[in-house]
Structure 1
Amino acid sequence: MFLSRLRELMENSESLMAAQSVTMLTISMLLSVFFLPGNLAGCPSDFMFVNVPRQIEALSGSCLQIPCSFKVKHDDYNPPNPILGIWLKNTIDIISNPNSLIFKSDGSVNIYSLNMIGNLNEENCTTVFPDLKTSYTDTYYLRIEKGAFRANAICDPLHITVKDSPWSPSINVPSDLKEHQSVTVTCSAFTPCPHSPPQLTWNLQQDSLRQTEKNTDGTFTTKIQETITLSDTHDGYNIRCSARYPVIGGNKTAETEVTLSVSYAPRNTSASISPSGLVSAGSWVELSCSSRAKPPPRFTWFRISKYGTFNVSVGQVFSFCVTERGEFYCMATNDLGNQRSSVILLSIKEDQVSEFQILNILKILSIVLLCISIIIFECWFRFSKKPKKETNEPIYVNNVMMTEAS
């Protein structure tokens, strides 16, 4: 069977029959390329190398551009003969399976309506698959022919997977976000067909610049970017990006969402006291500090006195026994800054006499004074109304003593 294949090959190739100077080594190399599987042939890539992705995905109803290039180092490749690019499906054995041949660059065969847009003279075999179907999922091989030279890329198979569902876009946000920082947010989507790129939209500015870029491996990515200046309000903000792929008969859409985590200095720092209002000397009070910050803040308590301001406690809550009045405030601090609360006043009952108490005292004093006045008046009145005491002293009339009876 080996000899019959060789005979058929030589009969179908007039150039090979005319090339009397072809060495047996060259013939053996060609035979190994045509007839032996890659693991047995040792992948003779020393005279032809093809650069295609080993794995690539496509979307049904859309197109797929396959980046492809090749490099040939062989004497039979030099004559100025036209180059023929061929795509084979599933197998490289055309003789045993002629249905594997799906495309020839001369237009004689084109089962899937492929378009080899690369210039073969420049060793560019880039090819576009239009309107893919899931049944196109398979392994493909490139074959190059030029004059007496024929070689299959058995070492560089291309496996295409056709999906029904689109790829979710990716959102790239720098790590370690901080307030006041300007960052560039990027939403990107895999673009199997740069001739029909996905439409990207998000909940940032809708006029963000869209561009399709070529990757180092020859594939393409479509992206939009926006530069924003971060603040504390961006912490927990959800960025949603949607990629809409145009396909035959409509569109297919996928969405991605990420949540921003932004560090910021303390905000809305406040202090409270419990119990509120006047407190009794010797009782316990609790001062509490709150603040919004990321990372969570550290809390420090200060007391203001006539001798200055002093650090009196560390922690969110400060509890102590009241001995005298005072003014207090707290400070919230993290790596990005600090913020102090307003001052709270601690007052004890002995320090203040209310108006109500003053009125009560005045009422009591008025009642006491009124009672004293009434008692004094009553005593005077009784004393002034008391009858005179009777006496038996004689009464003299004309120097004559007379008694009361006479």
Structure 2
Amino acid sequence: MKVYHSLSENMLTVNMLLSVFFLSGVSAGGCGGHQITFVITTPKSIVALNGSCLQVPCSFTVQVAENDFDRGEQTSAKWIPSNKDIFNISQGFNNDQINITGNIKQKNCTTVFSDIKSRQETEYFLRIVNSKFRATACSTPLQFTVQDSPEKPRIEPDLKDLKEHQSVTVTCSAFTPCPHSPPELTWNLQQDSLRQTEKNTDGTLTTKIQENITLSDTHDGYNIRCSARYPVIGGIKTSETEVTLSVSYAPKDTSASISPSGLVSAGSRVELSCSSRAKPPPRFTWFRNSEHGDMNVSVGKVYSFNATEGGKYYCVATNDLGKNRSSVILVTIKGNS
């Protein structure tokens, strides 16, 4: 019986120590060399826009009994800036300017910061207090960067290695720090592109517009411009991105020319030139019509020879995407009927 009595006393002592450990506030986040018991998780890089609002996805883990969150005790949670006493919940904020919208009992500390200002670029520590424990996430403060200018929108996919006849979905997307005021996206493609706001894997938001394009040679060198307009207190802030399409295509508009033009003297030098519009640049092959079929007579952009008899010639431009033939050009010798 003595052993059992001693064991009960030890268990009571441990329980008392645990209560002191949480209620003291020093258990949170490993501050002061204590074990980490309260840790928040937020996106690694958070950028806010001066004059807008900022929604910060946030969750946390804390080493306390689960039923401490389930019994209905009143739990207070506030963000405390680093220049205040981070162990004193009265030094924190939870109002219209800094509002914890997540359900703390579900370990969701998602927060909306309204009317962001440059001076808010500091560290914030989450403090939670209820009748069972008190804790501050000292080892994992919340910190974000405040910018005066919005980030440029992104145009995807990479538009540098495209081919004609290819169908591609072009997306313009912009980071959306404030879900209540998403940016307005416009571009020089179809203006009826549907705008939608999506949640990223880290809980942040992105607003995007999309357009499907079937590419042709006319799209090569075309500049796509996308603009994002962010409503902020006092006006609008705008950023823009421009990318140039690079589209490969088969030869087109192939033509042949002769110099000198008109009738030529027998034995005189004649130069035939071939031109075509293609990407990548084409290879040129020259053919002569004959009664035995078309004969390959030369390779290259220019075909030069001494004309001893008349004939009909044409060139073919070829690249990896296709070929295109010129119209026939006639070499006529003087005195020949």
TM-score (ref. length: structure 1): 0.73
2:81 maps to what in 1? Answer: 89
Distance in 1 (alpha carbons) for counterparts of 2:107 and 2:30:
25
Q: 1:238 to 1:309 in 2, by over 3 A?
A: same
Aligned length: 322
Unaligned runs of 5+ in 2: 1-11
Deviations 1:40-93 (Å, cap 9, x if unpaired)?
A: 637x44x33311124311111110001111122324972732222121112574
Matches within 5 A, 1:315-334: 315-334=300-319
Q: Is the 8 A contact 2:270 2:306 kept in 1?
A: yes
- Residue 56 in structure 1 maps to residue 46 in structure 2: yes
Q: Is the 8 A contact 1:178 1:264 kept in 2?
A: yes
Q: Is the 8 A contact 2:173 2:208 kept in 1?
A: yes
1:179 maps to what in 2? Answer: 164
1:393 maps to what in 2? Answer: none
- Residue 125 in structure 1 maps to residue 133 in structure 2: no
Deviation at 1:268, TM superposition (A): 0.4
Distance in 2 (alpha carbons) for counterparts of 1:350 and 1:268:
33
Deviation at 1:174, TM superposition (A): 4.8
Distance in 2 (alpha carbons) for counterparts of 1:71 and 1:343:
79
The letter of the residue matching 1:285 is V
Q: Is the 8 A contact 2:314 2:325 kept in 1?
A: yes
1:152 maps to what in 2? Answer: 136
2:93 aligns to what SS in structure 1? strand
The letter of the residue matching 2:131 is G
1:4 maps to what in 2? Answer: none
1:373 maps to what in 2? Answer: none
Deviations 1:71-120 (Å, cap 9, x if unpaired)?
A: 2232497273222212111257436xx7993314xxxxx4x721111111
- 2:120 pairs, out of 136, 156, 171, with 136
Q: 1:283 to 1:22 in 2, by over 3 A?
A: same
The letter of the residue matching 1:341 is S
Q: 1:336 to 1:234 in 2, by over 3 A?
A: same
Q: Is the 8 A contact 2:86 2:125 kept in 1?
A: no
- Give the fraction of aligned pairs with identical amino acids, expressed as a percent: 61
Q: 1:287 to 1:323 in 2, by over 3 A?
A: same
- 2:58 pairs, out of 47, 52, 68, with 68
Deviation at 1:171, TM superposition (A): 0.8
Matches within 5 A, 1:246-325: 246-325=231-310
Distance in 2 (alpha carbons) for counterparts of 1:27 and 1:286:
100
Distance in 1 (alpha carbons) for counterparts of 2:90 and 2:170:
46
Q: Which has the higher contact order (CA 8 A, sep 6+)?
A: 2
2:143 aligns to what SS in structure 1? strand
Distance in 2 (alpha carbons) for counterparts of 1:261 and 1:75:
59
Q: Is the 8 A contact 2:168 2:214 kept in 1?
A: yes
Larger radius of gyration: 1
1:254 aligns to what SS in structure 2? strand
- Residue 191 in structure 1 maps to residue 176 in structure 2: yes
Distance in 2 (alpha carbons) for counterparts of 1:149 and 1:92:
21
1:114 maps to what in 2? Answer: 98
- Residue 206 in structure 1 maps to residue 225 in structure 2: no
Unaligned runs of 5+ in 1: 1-18, 105-109, 353-406
More helix by share: 1
1:140 aligns to what SS in structure 2? strand
TM-score (ref. length: structure 2): 0.88
Range that drifts further, 244-253 or 139-148: 139-148
The letter of the residue matching 1:133 is K
1:308 aligns to what SS in structure 2? coil
Q: Is the 8 A contact 2:173 2:209 kept in 1?
A: yes
Distance in 2 (alpha carbons) for counterparts of 1:295 and 1:33:
66
Deviation at 1:24, TM superposition (A): 4.2
1:253 aligns to what SS in structure 2? strand
Distance in 2 (alpha carbons) for counterparts of 1:316 and 1:53:
58
Q: Is the 8 A contact 2:38 2:135 kept in 1?
A: yes
The letter of the residue matching 1:84 is S
Distance in 2 (alpha carbons) for counterparts of 1:91 and 1:52:
21
Deviation at 1:208, TM superposition (A): 0.6
The letter of the residue matching 1:83 is T
Deviations 1:259-316 (Å, cap 9, x if unpaired)?
A: 1111111110000111111112222211111001111111111111122111111111
1:22 aligns to what SS in structure 2? helix
